[in-house]
Amino acid sequence: MDATIYYNASCSKSRTALDALRDAGADVTVVEYLTDTPDRDALAELIAAAGLSVRDAVRSGEPLYADLGLDGADDDALLDAMVAHPSLIQRPLVVTDAGTVMARTPESLQRIVEGLRGRE
Which residues are identified as catalytic? Answer: 11
Q: What's the CA angle centered on 60, arms 57 and 65, to 5 degrees? A: 115
Q: Which of 21, 38, 25, 27 is closest to 90 using CA atoms? A: 38
Rounded Cα distance between 34 and 53, Å, is: 21
Q: How far is CA 22 from CA 103, 113, 114, in A?
A: 14, 9, 13
CB atoms closer than 10 angstroms to residue 109 = 20
